[in-house]
Amino acid sequence: MTSGKVLPADAHVATVDRFDELVAAFLRLRSPEAVTSFLRDLCTTNELDAMGQRLQVARLVNEGVAYQEISRLTGASTATVTRVAHWLHHGEGGYVRVLKKARS
């Protein structure tokens, strides 16, 4: 979420660089324990819970559960359910890949 400020072009480059560094860090991890440790060091409890909730919402949307029911089951707002559904169907394919791997 942005503050509404217009950022200079180099701020965007820094954001992309930080994102790339984060992706590379995850790729270097070789075990669930290492990922767990990194996530716990990197994120607050609330951030981890929010990401876990979004993944749970994506799974339920993918299963065809009604948005109101997903909201009730997960505690996510209907706005969050709608946003996750949008990215599930029109995003980069990350949710789809993760959900497919969870089934295999």
Q: pLDDT in tens for each of the 104 residues of the chain?
A: 445 666 666 777 889 999 999 999 999 999 999 999 999 999 999 999 999 999 999 999 999 999 999 999 999 999 999 999 999 999 999 999 999 998 87
First to last CA, the chain: 33
Look at the pTM and tell me if it is higher than 0.75.
yes
Residues 6+ apart with CB under 8 A from 60: 69, 70, 73, 74
- Predicted local confidence at residue 6, as pLDDT: 64
* Burial tier of 30 (Cβ tally within 10 Å: 0-12, 13-18, 19+): exposed
In CATH, the number for domain 45-104 is 1.10.1270.10
Domain borders along the chain are 8-42, 45-104
